[in-house]
Amino acid sequence: MKSDQMRLLLAGLAAGDCIGSLVEHRPWSIVAERYERHKGAGWPFRAVASGMWTEGEPTDDTDMAMAIIRAYWRATKWDPRVIAEKFAEWLQAGPKDIGATTSVAINRYISGASWFLAGRPHWERNPHNSANGSLMRNGVVPAFATDELDLITKTVEHAIITHFDPLSVLCCCIHSYLIWDLLHGRESVDWYEELRELWRTWEPSGLSPELQSWLTDVRTHPTAGDTLSMAWDYIEKNGALLTTMPEERDFQAGQGYSFLTLRVAMWAAEWAMKGEPYTGIIPEPLPKEPFQETGARTLGWVAMLGYDADTYGSCAGPLVAAVLGNLDGIELGNLQALKEYDRERP
């Protein structure tokens, strides 16, 4: 594990998560009201208390990312079985918030299912429900990888513990790949073709029986067929939407979709890279001021989108951090997860 990279990515994830929690599940009209109420305290560029969340308190997004990190510390290596155990410990401790897909899978693991099969029954019943519960915690994974093939392996392993759906998994892989490239000083203009080629190399590269089992299952759904190929086709067909600001109706169609979450994250990261105020149309009733901020403060733009804002932020934060190499302009001092990381790190 690369400790400097890990802390940077965790900081981005936790900041986006905690800043977004103020307006989680809220439409744009409520976001505008909360901006007026809390801008004096620095929001949306710092976390503030929000309903059941105290200032800087992590939601399930950051909690699960920390569970991945703690699993590594416990095992002194990457082990998806230990990650599943840490997820179970977290669930049994009674978190304030947890996604439905995540809860079902972890409870199945607690009841005796293997780590790589706990999420399969939910996927079998809902083969096209690409929830974002694995993407929300994915941002720390690139810091564990030793090379690009290992990056894909680790990304898939942690994702399928709870989210068996291949579109959810592939969105995690895109996220990991982009972060990996940025951390290594590269900008992937042709990331789709590069990732497809990497995937073609990865599939026959001596995968574990567990990952081979997953690949077989997602290619042979009893009614939907080859859902993995469908997921790749969906990404290729809709790739032009990535890096574009969604309209409010996109969020109203559903809050837990992985592709929409990745879209928000890539949009924010692109503008962070540009270092310019937003020049697109800012729809009413969103206030214009936050979108004039630049650099890491594009995480505030993400929070202004409301709906699943904490998860959009937890996905965008590591990307923005990797783009810039810092989070200057975002208040990090009140983030509980960073304090825990610094205190517990071996």
What pLDDT is attached to residue 51?
86
Chain Cα centroid distance, residue 86? 18
How do residues 220-268 score in pLDDT, each as one tens digit?
Answer: 999 999 999 999 999 999 999 999 999 999 998 765 699 999 999 999 9
263 touches 242 (CB < 8 A):
yes
CB atoms within 10 A of CB 286: 19
CB atoms within 10 A of CB 193: 11
- What burial letters (b/e) apply to 287-324, b meaning 16+ CB within 10 Å? eeebbebebbbbbbbbbbbbbbbbbbbbbbbbbbbbbb
**Taking residues 178-204, what's their average pLDDT?**
92
What pLDDT is attached to residue 105?
98
55 touches 336 (CB < 8 A):
no
Burial class of 213 by CB neighbour count within 10 A (0 to 12, 13 to 18, 19+): middle
DSSP string, 46-104: S---BTTBPTT---HHHHHHHHHHHHHHHHTS--HHHHHHHHHHHHHT--S---HHHHH
CA distance 48 to 35: 11
Tokens representing 276? 């310019």
Residue 149 binned pLDDT confidence (cut-offs 50, 70, 90): very high
Which residue segments constitute the domains of the chain, with CATH numbers given? 3-344 (1.10.4080.10)
CA distance 333 to 98: 25
CA distance 52 to 281: 33
303 touches 38 (CB < 8 A):
no
How do residues 313-335 score in pLDDT, each as one tens digit?
Answer: 999 999 999 999 999 999 999 99
**Taking residues 298-311, what's their average pLDDT?**
97
Cis before residue 285, ω within 30 degrees of 0? Answer: yes
What pLDDT is attached to residue 189?
74
Residue 50 binned pLDDT confidence (cut-offs 50, 70, 90): confident
What pLDDT is attached to residue 254?
64
Element counts in the chain: helices (H) and strands (E):
16, 0
- Specify the 3-state DSSP secondary structure of 52: coil
69 touches 87 (CB < 8 A):
no
- Mean pLDDT, rounded, of the chain: 96
Tokens representing 237? 């067909």
pLDDT value at 116 more than 90: yes
In the chain, % of residues over pLDDT 90? 94
CA distance 88 to 77: 19
